[in-house]
Amino acid sequence: MSRSTLRRIRRLTNAAKPVIEERDRRQKAFEDSLPTLAEEHLLKVIIIFRYGEPRIEEPLALAYKRALSQLDREEALSIAHLRRILEKEPPAGDIKVKISTWVAQMPDWLRYLCHVGFWMGILGLEAPPLSQDVLKLQYTKSDRNAWPFLPQEILEPRRDYGAQSRFIDQMSPEEQITFLKIFRKPEHEWTRQECRFMREMFAREQSIQLTDKNN
């Protein structure tokens, strides 16, 4: 490699350094915020479950509206209010114990619709397994990009029951976060590393599909 090429590479590297540092800073800030996001998300789902009378056949947004109306508070105040309620309720323990207690009582369709298992994993908690019946359902098109917010619609019958669901479920929480972040970006904006990661994930999905066919 010639000296001029090396100098050009060094100049490009130096020019890109602030951009890379800013990207890394934002990535770290996002990862640091995940436990807080997870806690707030799960508390919202508990609010829906306790006060909104959610029904599988109606849009989740209606149940959330009922819950906030019953609490007579806006979203942020409702979350703080629920925290105070849970602190006084059994079982003894921190907020994670309280969350686990309420999640265990939820119907699996609600846990599935609201990505409860994913967010429990962020907090180092384990959610109850989902039934095979609920895995025959999928999110509506409008809810597929709702993450990390609450979905608004209902679950609908899944055409490709099985493989896709297990493909996501078999990812680690870290892989799920990375996959969802990349998937939401236009493909032409993916970095080489992101392209490599997505190829590995989709290869895993194809392996699951082949296993299904052989069985």
Chain-centroid distance, C-alpha 63: 20
Q: pLDDT tens for residues 122-148?
A: 999 999 999 989 988 888 888 877 877
Task: Tell me what the mean pLDDT of segment 113-120 comes to.
Answer: 92
Answer whether 61's CB lies under 8 Å from 113's CB.
no
pLDDT at residue 161, rounded to an integer? 47
Q: pLDDT tens for residues 154-195?
A: 999 876 544 555 566 677 777 888 887 787 777 778 888 888
